[in-house]
Amino acid sequence: MLITVDNDILLRTWEETDAPALFEAVQHSRAHLTPWLAWVFDTTREEHSLNYIKSMMQMLENQEGLTMGVFFDGAIIGEISMHHWDHKLKSAQLGYWISKDFVRRGIAVKCLKVLMRYLFEKTEITKLEIHFSAKNTQSAKVAAKLGTRVEGVIRNGVIRNGIIEDLVITGILKQEWQK
C-alpha cells in the first residue's frame, strides 16, 4: 500500500527488503528514540527489524493494524501506524516516530493527517487515539495539532526505561475530524 503525502514524502507498508534500511534508521536515531519507545532496546540487529516487519505484515493481513514507513526522497525517516484496532468499537490508536534529522519539521503531523483521512474515509473507524508519556511534550504538540482532545491521564500508566510515568490518552472522533 502506498500513500503520497507530498512531493518529497511517501508512506508505504513495510516490505522485507526494507529491514536493513529500517535498522539503520533506528540505529541513527537510537538516542533520540530511546526515551519514548521501549522497543528500541530490543532492536539491536538487522534481524530484529526483519522480524518486526514480518509481524507488521501479519498484523495487516489479520486486520489488526496498519504500519507504514515514512520515506523522504526514497529514504526511511520514520514510521506511522494504526494499531490496537478494535473492530467492535470501531477505534484504533495511532503511533509514530521520526528520525532525529527530520523532527520539528511538521512531517509527523503531515503524515498522520493523511493517515487519519485514509482511516476515516476508507475504513469503518470512528475514533482514533494517541497515547503518550506525560513527559513527552513533543508528542503532546503533535496530538494537539491533529485536533485530538485529552481524554484522561492514567497515573503511573506506562513504564519507560524502568521508570513509571503518567500516560496521556488523547482522541478524536470522526465527526470532530470532519469539521
Q: Could you report the per-residue pLDDT of 61-82, keeping only the tens digit for each?
A: 999 999 999 999 999 999 999 9
Q: Could you report the per-residue pLDDT of 8-62, keeping only the tens digit for each?
A: 999 999 999 999 999 999 999 988 888 888 788 788 888 999 999 999 999 999 9
Distance CA 127, CA 123 (A): 11
Residue 130 structural domain: 2-178
The pLDDT, as a whole number, for residue 42 is 81
Helix residue ranges per DSSP H, 34-173? 46-61, 107-122, 137-145
How many structural domains does the chain have?
1
**pLDDT mean over 144-165:** 94
In contact, 86 and 126? CB cutoff 8 Å: no
Distance CA 43, CA 154 (A): 28
The reported pTM is 0.91
Quote the cell numbers at residue 160: 519507560
Whole-angstrom distance between the N-terminal and C-terminal Cα of the chain? 27
> Which of 131, 32, 14 has the alpha carbon at shortest distance from 83?
131
CATH of the domain at 50: 3.40.630.30
